[in-house]
Structure 1
Amino acid sequence: MNSHDKSAPDHLLIKIEQRDDPVSMISEDDARRRSLAYPKTMWGAPIFGLAEELDAGRWRIIRLDAEEPQYARDSLAHHLHRRHSETPDTPENATERAECEAAYELLDWEPVNDLTVNGRRYRIIRAQPFIRMGPDGPEPPRPTDPDPYPPGQAEKAPSQMEGFVIDPTAGTGLTDGIVRMEMTSAFHRAETVPEEVRADSYRALDTHPNAVLLPVGFTIGGYVDGSWRPKSFDAYPTPQAARDAGSFSIVRPRMDETTTIEEFMAACERARAAHQPPRTDDFEMNGVPCRVTRVETFVRVGPDGPEGPRPSDHDSQPPPARHVADLRAQGLMPDPD
């Protein structure tokens, strides 16, 4: 992992750079202080998305927000379908359109994780979110984390994941470099984790031996039954976006078997109108102590790029066309006229 080792393959590099500008120095000091104050990590469920290869070793994230690999494959199919529809139907574009059509039709039937279309290589990728924990609970936002939008307007914040380039050779600060080195050797050890999950996690140390940190996100943690729990590891791009959306989800009305969808939507509108997003990192909602919580994410990389889904990853749905065919074969869906 040494940056001075010129013989090391690019996918094994962790290049630590000395950054002397004031902003970098303050950010580095923040990171060092927080690593001491919040020394433990708590992993969430993996997230999945799709990325496009730019050149050898560098991949651009198109989307990264799926709970299961198939949802990411569906996003890839949609991406290719849009490319097909946006490409003019002319003789010179016939081959490009035909490749796009063949690719998204294949994805309708087969769980493909790596696909080349019109010379562009796409991959379903797997990323691992985690939060830092300390004696007082989860790590809140750092003073240097950007938070430019006021309460109620944070939905304007763009995604930091979309367009991010996964590049193991890119320079990094000292503290982030240490985190990357920690993550390269991290795997599931807990006995509570199923054996196949632990085996896949350990195998990834060999197949994808490096780790790249992705942009930081934010969620809401709640103190319930004597312990802090993140509401979810779904991360928002800024602290205020998490305050706006995450806190509203706590006060949002609940449905029961007697509630109509119209009544529920009307109740949501009333709750949204009355909701005042908090301005602080620690607040209380419905009697529950809450904290805006910092979510870090890394993706493992190997000689052929970022890691894809593992055999043990939860993948509950087959591709859509196959799913429909299975339902029809079971008599659970009528045949088309």
Structure 2
Amino acid sequence: MAELGDNVPAYRTIRVSEPDGPVAAVADVEAWQAREAYPDVLAAAGPVFGVVRERDAGGWEVVSSFTDLAPQDARDGMGAQFRMLAQERERAGDAAGVEECMRAAERMEWEAVDEMTVLGSRFRVARAECFVRSGPDGPEPPRPTDPDPTGPGDGHRAPDFTAGFVIDPAAATGMSAGILKMELLAMVPVAGTEPPGVREDALRAAHTHPGGVLLPATFMTAERGPRGRWRPESTCSSSTPQAARDGLAMQLRVMIPWQRRLDAAARAPLMAAADRLDAERCNELEFAGRLVRIVRVERLVRIGPDGPEGPRPCDPDPQPPVMVQHQQLREQGVITDDEDEDTPIELDEHTQRLAALYEEEEARRKTRRAEC
């Protein structure tokens, strides 16, 4: 039976309201303009995972940001949350609370658990899908109203705009965000374009979790390839455009020279491109015949009657829980009781070069901060 009027559950509604201030009003206008300049909405990279906690007041609070590329990474984060809760309970003198939190944390080290109730609150590993807008010119770059508070080399110091975010489908959004949410909720992979199981899981999720909430945007780098096709060059985990620029600069100054074993002369064009990226804080960089762009990423968490969607069966999840992995390595002889933990690890020449390049970059950034 169709659900009409007051019978429509909150998780299936999309509430639209007027912007609550001038910045929000400008952001809504920019979002509408992006629909014209970048009319296509495309899947970007794979899903990301985070940890959420159900709130007594309604909705789910993000307690571990959606930066993990596999469910087990987020499970490890949930176990870490329980250990931090144990420390809080210890400071409060709550021995029973400490025991409950540690019992939950230790279970997470052995079992692939996506939801647990600890201290009366439900915690869950939740899944978000990533999308980018694209147009004739390629994927959409950052918008002027996207927060970008830090300078070159300090992108990691910016606040995490997703931490503490409340996933509440009943919360009102702007007109453009509401329309985008409708578009994303309707998207499923075309038959034959994805590995077996992906389309089936997506169709199932459209029925089990028909609602959705948009998380704050994140950023990644993408490169234009042959015939004008763009491909992701990084994950969509940078919380600000500058954090994505810093990641690109690190690639140019450290990782590419190391991977390709470049000498000083061959490194020079890459170093010059990284310097230009820092000086101009640009969102597009051309170097050595390559064109790379900082790209804006939208993330959608699907919502059902019991809250945010968890991992799907088709989601890659290659690593077991940490203690299971440790046990497997012991059985394989990779880890033994005879190892001397005090014996320093000797790096080969290639790895020593990576360490040297990284230290050089850290020294450069430290000098830059001192000069600013």
TM range, smaller chain: 0.7 to 0.9
What residue is the counterpart of 2:12 in the other structure? 12
Query: Which residue of structure 2 lines up, in the alignment, with residue 150 of structure 1?
Result: 151
Query: Which residue pairs with 2:37 in the alignment?
Result: 37
CA contact (8 A) 1:219 1:246 kept: no
Q: 1:284-311 CA deviation, whole Å, 9 max, x = no partner? A: 2343112221111111010111000011
1:209, distance to aligned residue in structure 2 (A): 0.5
Structure 2 Cα separation of the partners of residues 332 and 36 of structure 1: 56
Written as runs of structure 1 = structure 2, the 5 A alignment for 1:224-303 is 224-226=225-227, 227-253=229-255, 254-255=257-258, 275-276=275-276, 277=278, 278-303=280-305
Maintained 8 Å contact 1:129/1:233 = no
By how many angstroms is 1:234 displaced?
2.3
1:66-145 equivalences in 2 (<5 Å) = 66-88=68-90, 93-145=94-146
The offset of 1:163, in angstroms, is 1.1
Structure 1 stretches of 4+ moved >4 Å: 256-259
Q: Using a 3 Å threshold, how does the CA distance of structure 1 residues 49 and 143 change in structure 2: closer, same or farther?
A: same
The residue matched to 1:172 in structure 2 has which SS? coil
SS across alignment from 2:250: helix
Measure, in 1, the Cα distance between the counterparts of 2:243 and 2:193. Answer: 33
**Which sits farther off after the overlay, 317-326 or 100-109?**
317-326
Q: Is contact 1:220–1:247 with CA below 8 Å preserved after alignment? A: no
Structure 2's unaligned 5+ residue stretches are 340-372
Distance 1:8 1:246 in 2: 46
SS in 1 for 2:247: helix
User: Which amino acid in structure 2 is aligned with residue 7 of structure 1?
Assistant: N
Measure the CA separation in 2 of the matches of 1:285 and 1:251: 13
The count of corresponding residues between Structure 1 and Structure 2 is 324
- Kindly provide the amino acid, as one letter, of the partner of residue 139 in structure 1: E
| Shift, 1:167, TM fit | 0.6
Q: Distance in 2 between matches of 1:89 and 1:137?
A: 52
Q: How far apart, in 2, do the equivalents of 1:314 and 1:28 lie? A: 35
Unaligned runs of 5+ in 1: none
Higher mean C-alpha displacement, 218-227 vs 36-45: 218-227
- d(CA) in 2 for partners of 1:291 and 1:323? 38
Kindly indicate whether the alpha-carbon contact (under 8 Å) linking 2:11 and 2:212 is maintained by their aligned counterparts in 1. no
Question: Is it true that 1:165 corresponds to 2:170 in the alignment?
Answer: no
SS at match of 1:19: coil
CA distance in 1, matches of 2:239, 2:91: 38
Q: TM-score, structure 1 length as denominator?
A: 0.87
Contact 1:251–1:285 (8 Å) recurs in 2: no
- Equivalent residues of 2:252, 2:271 under 8 A apart: no
> CA 1:210–1:56 in 2, change beyond 3 Å: closer, same or farther?
farther
In structure 1, what residue type is equivalent to 2:69? E
**Percent of residue pairs bearing the same amino acid type:** 40
Q: CA deviation at 1:86?
A: 3.9
Bigger drift between 308-317 and 16-25 goes to 16-25
Distance 1:280 1:78 in 2: 37
Higher mean alpha-carbon deviation, 184-193 vs 92-101, is at 184-193
Specify whether residues 177 and 135 from structure 1 end up closer, same or farther in structure 2 by C-alpha distance, changes over 3 A only: same
Larger % of helix: which? 2
> Is residue 333 of structure 2 the alignment partner of residue 326 of structure 1?
no
Distance 1:56 1:316, change over 3 A: farther
Deviates more, 1:7-16 or 1:282-291: 282-291
Q: CA–CA distance in 2 between the matches of 1:79 and 1:286?
A: 44
Task: Say yes or no: does 1:28 pair with 2:31.
Answer: no
Q: Is 188-197 or 121-130 further displaced after alignment?
A: 188-197
Q: TM-score if structure 2 supplies the norm length?
A: 0.79
Instruction: Please point out which of 304, 316, 319 is paired with 1:317.
Output: 319
Residue deviations 1:133-156 (CA, integer Å, cap 9, x gap): 110111011222232333333332
Contact persistence 2:19–2:28 (CA under 8 A): no
